[in-house]
Amino acid sequence: THYSNVDGLPDSNLYTTALDVAKLSRALIRQFPQVIQITKEKSYTYNGITQRSWNPVLFRDPTVDGLKTGLTDASGYCIDATAIRNGRRLIAVVLGGPSWAGSTNAVEALLDYGYRFFVNHPVYTAGEKVSEISRSDLSPMPIPVGVEQNVDITVPKGRFSSLQRVVEIAPHLQVPMKKGTVVGRLVFLLNGKPLKSVPVVTQTAIEKAGWITQMFHKIRSVL
């Protein structure tokens, strides 16, 4: 994605992808959830003038409550839609549609597909340990690391057991280090492809181990 202006009007140096629009929408909803109270309105009246929402999916699907549309000759009929069904929110983005009807049909198909074939799984709760660092030059040893927030992940139905979890710790840790310092990331993979990554933090303060402590750690590690 590259933004060259603030209004989204056509420009040869302005471009984005459906995935980036979805990521931006997710960030907007998470940081400013009150935006849904605006985007779900089918019309708005001010000073005696009523403006109907430009989002055609609002008028077809009662579970849809946003989010944005766009139309230019270059981009086609674009819909960035979000719905909530049974307490679960999904985002569907269609760019380059041939008409409002065509883009609406495509958005509805994406949402139906997502709700039918994908499920959310809670994986970790905030503060839960996910791994540990074992280095003889650090104290304490081992050092527990965990996640700061609840972690859940969306996967195809029946594939949760195939999910791989890899904790990647930064190679160069600067000590001393306070509790709660980000030291790496937890990566979820399916069929070798990353689905999601979240930061992992220290669950205790870390100090540089003295030479006697280092010797003790090395001896203990070989026993």
Residue-wise pLDDT tens digits, 14-40? 999 999 999 999 999 999 999 999 999
Q: One-letter amino acid identity for 120?
A: N
Residue 220 pLDDT > 80: no
State how beta strands 64-72 and 129-133 pair.
unpaired
Q: In angstroms, rounded to a whole number, what is the distance separating the alpha carbons of residues 68 and 150?
A: 28
Higher pLDDT, 167 or 216: 167
For residue 215, give every residue at least 6 positions away whose Cβ sits within 8 Å of its Cβ, in sequence order, or none: none
Residue showing tokens 């010797």? 215
Q: What is the pLDDT of residue 214?
A: 56
- 189 within 8 A of 167, measured Cβ to Cβ: no
Residue 223 pLDDT > 60: no
Query: Of the spans 8-22, 24-38, 160-174, 201-215, which averages the highest pLDDT?
Result: 24-38
* Least trusted range by pLDDT, from 19-33, 86-100, 115-129, 173-187: 173-187
Q: What is the pLDDT of residue 213?
A: 57
Q: In angstroms, rounded to a whole number, what is the distance separating the alpha carbons of residues 190 and 196?
A: 10
